[in-house]
């Protein structure tokens, strides 16, 4: 799921809807594009259902917390890759019905000229095989702009 800049700005404002705060946050967040990747097994977080023992649990925690940079690729039709800037994996300890990771990529306007971006997730050892998502770039180029009231 793509997360538009102003959605992140709105979560960060905390009621301080001054124009300079809004523009400062927009400038900070607009340097990147953000996606949420949600994965579940039997409508539960991956860590709650897939590991069979402590060793597998530890391996999966390690993978989700530190190894996702090696398993996710974002590229355009010309095979130009956007290198992941960062990712955030918040542990929910069974309080969610999915494992959700926020992915952060640089907003490289040259690479956003293709009609689509492709997000590819290698098999994490959970039997899915490689999974590919086709993301229309117009949702990034024409992202909505919110009006914040003071």
Q: What is the pLDDT of residues 20-66, one digit of tens each?
A: 888 999 999 999 999 999 999 889 999 888 888 999 899 999 989 99
pLDDT of 125 higher than 90:
no
Mean pLDDT of 77-105: 92
CB of 119 within 8 A of CB of 82?
A: no
Give CA separation, 107 vs 4, 30, 63, 103, in Å. Answer: 12, 7, 25, 12
Structural tokens at position 41: 């097994």
E strand map for the chain = 2-3, 32-39, 72-76, 81-82, 86-88, 99-106, 116-121, 131-136
- pTM for the model stands at 0.88
Q: Among the ranges 8-12, 18-22, 82-86, which has the highest mean pLDDT value?
A: 82-86
CB atoms within 10 A of CB 101: 19
Q: What's the CA gap between 100 and 12, in Å, rounded?
A: 19
């Amino acid at each position: 799921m793509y997360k538009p800049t102003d959605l992140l700005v709105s979560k960060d404002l905390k009621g301080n809807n001054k124009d300079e705060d809004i523009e400062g946050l927009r400038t900070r967040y607009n340097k990147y594009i953000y996606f949420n990747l949600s994965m579940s097994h039997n409508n539960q977080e991956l860590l709650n259902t897939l590991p069979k023992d402590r060793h597998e649990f530890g391996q999966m925690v390690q993978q989700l917390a530190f190894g996702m940079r090696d398993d996710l690729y974002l590229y355009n039709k010309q095979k130009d890759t956007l290198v992941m800037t960062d990712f955030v994996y918040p542990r929910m300890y069974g309080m969610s019905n999915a494992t959700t990771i926020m992915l952060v990529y640089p907003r490289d306007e040259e690479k956003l000229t293709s009609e689509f971006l492709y997000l590819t997730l290698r098999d994490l050892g959970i039997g899915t095989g490689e999974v590919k998502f086709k993301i229309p770039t117009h949702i990034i180029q024409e992202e909505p702009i919110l009006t914040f009231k003071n």
